[in-house]
């Protein structure tokens, strides 16, 4: 490294350190999402063939707000999707509820995005929930979560099936 390059690296490091030192610390997560939430999901199939109303939905979330930024904004959990309200082809039979692992980020403004995606034997599932989370009671914990839902199921040998719609959840005691 030349003397000029060495000085440039040192000056850059000093400038970055000075800028970082002068910045306020990043904000903590707006609240803790840890808990079990229950509610409903609804929507319309991609082909507009079916309107789905009031299907049960359960979400269990975990968040470690003691971590430093950005780790304190990371949310993980499980989403249990109930298919009992779907009109499925006769050959499909009854589908039991499915539980999917999710991970996402809680924004400083309370926007929470959770996503999953994965494939097993002849089945792939993609789920994205994006919505507004709120600490309604001011106790530092999320009480409600509602927003948009996008769900896709891919079965071997069958055209993709999907639902776009919404969801509404509230904390469970």
1-31 per-position pLDDT tens digit: 444 434 444 344 444 444 455 677 889 999 9
Decide if 132 is inside a domain: yes
Global pTM reads 0.80
Q: What is the C-alpha R_g of the chain?
A: 22
Inside any domain, residue 8:
no
On whether residue 78 sits in a domain, the answer given is: yes
Residue 11 in domain: no
Q: Are 112 and 79 in contact (CB under 8 A)?
A: no
Count of structural domains within the chain: 1
Among 11-15, 121-125, 166-170, the minimum mean pLDDT is found in 11-15
% residues pLDDT > 70 (the chain):
86
Domain-embedded: residue 15: no
Residue 51 token pair: 């309107």
Domain span holding position 38: 26-171
pLDDT of the residue at 162? 87
Q: In this structure, what token pair is assigned to residue 71?
A: 């780790």
Question: Does pLDDT of 167 surpass 90?
Answer: yes
Q: Write the Ramachandran bin of 93: left for phi over 0, alpha for psi from -120 to 50, otherwise beta.
A: left
Q: What is the CATH number of the domain that holds 55?
A: 2.40.128
Whether the Cβ atoms of residue 63 and residue 34 lie closer than 8 Å to each other: yes
């Amino acid at each position: 490294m030349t003397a000029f390059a060495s000085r440039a690296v040192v000056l850059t490091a000093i400038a970055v350190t000075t800028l970082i030192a002068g910045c306020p610390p990043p904000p903590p997560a707006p609240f803790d999402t840890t808990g079990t939430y229950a509610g409903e999901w609804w929507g319309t199939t991609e082909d507009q063939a079916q309107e789905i109303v009031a299907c049960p939905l359960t979400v269990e979330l975990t968040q470690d707000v003691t971590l430093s930024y950005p780790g304190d904004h990371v949310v993980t959990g499980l989403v249990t999707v109930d298919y009992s309200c779907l009109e499925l082809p006769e050959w499909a039979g009854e589908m039991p509820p499915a539980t999917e692992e999710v991970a996402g980020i809680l924004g400083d403004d309370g926007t929470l995005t959770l996503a999953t995606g994965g494939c097993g034997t002849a089945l792939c599932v993609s789920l994205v929930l994006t919505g507004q989370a709120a600490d309604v009671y001011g106790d530092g914990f999320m009480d409600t979560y509602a927003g948009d839902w996008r769900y896709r199921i891919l079965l071997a040998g069958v055209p993709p099936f999907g639902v776009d719609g919404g969801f509404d959840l509230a904390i469970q005691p």
